[in-house]
Amino acid sequence: MTPLLDAETSSPYPVSLRGRGISVSAVPALAGLAVAGTGALALGLTARSLAWPLVHDAPILHYVAARILQGAVPYRDLFDMNFPGTYLVHVLGLVLFGRGDAGFRAFDLAVVAVTAAGLVAALRSFGRWAAGSAAALFWLYHVSGGAWRAGQRDLILCALLAWTTAAAVAYRQDGRPRALGLAGLALGVGVWIKPHAVLLLPVLAAVGWRRGEPGRGLAALAAGITLPGAAVLGWLAAAGGLPAFLDMVGGYLLPLYAGLGRVTLVEAIRGHDLGPAVVAGLGLWALGGLAALWRTRAVDSRAALLGAGVVYGALHFALQGKGWEYHLYPAALFAVALGAAGLGAALAAGRRLAAVALVVVLVATAATLGVKGLRNLDPAWIAGKRARTDAVAAAVAPLTTAGGAVQVLDTTDGGIHALYLLDARQPTRFLYDFHFYHDVGHPYVRGLRAELLDGLRRRPPAALVLFERGWPRGDYGRLGEFPALAAWLEANYRLAREGDGYRVYAKTGDR
């Protein structure tokens, strides 16, 4: 077999890197060390993360899933802005792994493993270094974020996006319509977790159109993307939750919630732990990968798909506008994949400079993520939030044991988590209280306020727990912005306990 020619000297292996002391044959070894080191960092952080608690957003979604398993109907009985696919994934997580912290940790790692497997399948045509570096770097990116990012919706979406990409690449290689149909199916499921994923549909359509007999491929794509929606909407309709879902989307999500708490992208990234360094590392990795693909003449439909994925990931983050760190997951996924594809192409073509440059970026990015991961293994705010949750649960447990309901006025500071631990219910369908403090002149918000008060009056809770921190702003004083609620609370309840970041109100006369 003829050895691969060096692109700069036109001579076969081994060749020195023009006085730099690096031979062509040494470059794969350097890449191997970098990939192995990245994987070792990821595995080390994973081992130290096994005791991570269920915390922040995930308990709320687990609570909704648990209520669904008990017969509650989403949107009708539980007011939330998430799409129904998220609840179904958490239902599956509860059924497969159970309710506890260890079960949720297994659920999170299973999602990451599925995502890594999808990256390997999508990038194997670029070589083993591409597949290995992508799986290792994305895994490290995930575990570097800490317990609060475990099981996030955008991470779950990444598992589906990785396999969407793998199926689209398979279709590009063999032209079988079934592969494009599977890509559409995976994307269709993703849309019902995060609807922004629909932005990738034109990209898949373009992949299908470029093959011979595009009609069959596009028909398979249309069937795949449609099937999950039909199933989810059929489930909601049968359960009785479809009208409430449509009302929430059209009346609240799009006109009101979408514009709430928006920040600039620069402000958001600066607020993330090591945010600028992480984004810069992933950006250089992706740009280096694209340059390597260009230099090796490997810019084909596979590379175009990965590049379009990076653009989609940036839009996914920007359009949501909240600036939360986990909204970067899809951008990170495709940036990791694009850089990895470039590394594989550079090594296969003997492009030493490109390969070494990518190895340097990989090492620097992995080191940054390693530092971030160590900082986020057991931060004080996570321990404080879990302690608050346990304290609230202990405070209201006697009331729920006696059959009483508890209303929490909270966002993510542990109120719903406490009810999840107690398997308790609220007298209303409201999981959060921020709905009542923005756009207060809007008819929809006025309707939500009236519904809350009506529910509390018809079924007075045994206790009401008010959390100090509001979102996107506010403290205990936010009750003053809802005079009717404040008056009802003052007339019927007394402050029974005050703890770190919460107040428990009991009915007047109760002990």
- 151 sits in the region (left: phi over 0; alpha: psi -120 to 50; else beta) called left
- Three-state DSSP class for 50? coil
Sheet strands side by side (includes 463-467): 406-409, 463-467, 502-507, 493-499
Judged against a pLDDT cut of 50, whether residue 13 lies above it is answered with no
Look at residue 122 and tell me whether its pLDDT is greater than 60. yes
Residue-wise pLDDT for 167-184, tens only, equals 999 998 888 899 999 999
**What pLDDT is stored for residue 442 in this prediction?**
98
> What is the reported pTM?
0.94
Cross-strand pairs, 79:
430
Q: Dihedral sign, CA of 449, 451, 455, 458?
A: positive
Would the CA dihedral through 423, 500, 82, 444 be positive or negative?
positive
Q: Are 421 and 400 in contact (CB under 8 A)?
A: no
pLDDT of residue 15: 36
> How distant, in Å, are the alpha carbons of 122, 276, 293, 335, 465 from that of 281?
22, 8, 18, 10, 43
Rounded Cα–Cα distance for residues 457 and 449 (Å): 12
CB 339 within 8 A of CB 135: no
410 pairs with which residues across the strands?
Answer: none
Q: Contact at 8 Å (CB) between 163 and 116? A: no
Most distant CA atoms of the chain, gap in Å: 91
**145 with 317: CB under 8 angstroms?**
no
Chain centroid offset of residue 427 CA: 30
Question: In a 10 Å sphere around its CB, with 0-12 CB exposed, 13-18 middle and 19+ buried, how is residue 354 labelled?
Answer: buried
Percent of the residues in the chain that have a pLDDT greater than 90, as a whole number: 89
- pLDDT bucket at 6, cuts 50 / 70 / 90: very low
* pLDDT at residue 210, as a whole number: 66
Residue 256's SS3 state is coil
Query: Predicted confidence band at 419 (pLDDT cuts at 50, 70, 90)?
Result: very high
Statement: residue 401 has pLDDT above 90: no
Contact predicate 354/281, CB 8 Å: no
Closest by CA position to 42, among listed 133, 127, 111, 159: 133
**CA-based end-to-end distance of the chain:** 86
Residue 22: pLDDT over 90: no
The tokens for 473 are 């702003």
- pLDDT tens by residue, 71-95: 999 999 999 999 999 999 999 999 9
Span 58-75, average pLDDT? 98
Q: What is the model's pLDDT at position 16?
A: 39
Whether the upstream peptide bond of residue 461 has omega within 30° of 0, thus cis, is: no
The model's confidence at residue 402, banded by pLDDT at 50, 70 and 90, is confident
Mapped onto helix, strand or coil, the DSSP state of residue 404 is coil
When pLDDT is cut at 50, 70 and 90, the band that residue 1 belongs to is very low
CA gap 133, 447 in Å, rounded = 52
Q: Where are the domains of the chain?
A: 26-375, 380-507
Q: Tell whether the model's pLDDT for residue 12 goes beyond 60.
A: no
d(CA 179, CA 189): 16
Question: If you write DSSP's letter for every residue of 56-100 in order, what string do you get?
Answer: TTHHHHHHHHHHHHTT--BTTTBB-SS-HHHHHHHHHHHHHH-SS
DSSP letter string, 173-201: HH--HHHHHHHHHHHHHHHTT-GGGGGGH
Distance, CA of 400 to CA of 431 (rounded, Å):
17
Only one residue has tokens 């999602």, namely: 111
Per-residue pLDDT, averaged over 18-32, amounts to 72
- pLDDT tens per residue, range 41-58: 999 999 999 999 999 999
Residue pLDDT, tens place only, 318-337 = 999 999 999 999 999 999 99
| Total residues belonging to the chain | 511
Distance CA 386, CA 298 (A): 49
The predicted-structure confidence for 258-315, as pLDDT tens digits, reads as follows 999 999 999 999 999 999 999 999 999 999 999 999 999 888 989 999 999 999 999 9
- What lies within 8 Å, CB to CB, of 111 at 6+ separation is 151, 155, 156, 159
d(CA 432, CA 469): 12
In the 8-state DSSP scheme, what is residue 430? Answer: B
Task: Return the H-helix or E-strand segment holding 496.
Answer: strand 493-499
Choose among 152, 73, 101: nearest CA to 420. Answer: 101
Q: What confidence tier does 158 reach under pLDDT thresholds 50, 70, 90?
A: very high
Q: Rounded to whole angstroms, how far apart are CA atoms 111 and 100? A: 17
Residue written as token pair 């309709």 = 237
Q: Which tokens go with 94?
A: 């509860």
User: What is the Cα gyration radius of the chain?
Assistant: 25
Q: What is the mean pLDDT of the chain?
A: 93
Flag whether pLDDT at 2 surpasses 60.
no
The burial of 14, by beta-carbon neighbours within 10 Å (0-12 exposed, 13-18 middle, 19 or more buried), is given as exposed
Q: How far is CA 418 from the centre of its chain?
A: 23
* pLDDT over 80 at 7, yes or no: no
pLDDT digits (tens, 9 = 90+) for 193-232: 999 999 999 999 999 886 666 788 999 999 999 999 999 9
Q: How far is the C-alpha of 463 from the C-alpha of 507, rounded, in Å?
A: 7
Per-residue pLDDT band at 511 (split at 50, 70, 90):
low
Token duo for residue 78: 């539980």
Q: Are 451 and 100 in contact (CB under 8 A)?
A: no
pLDDT at residue 446 is higher than 90:
yes
Token pair of 259 as six digits = 């514009």
Between residues 403 and 240, which one has the greater pLDDT? Answer: 240
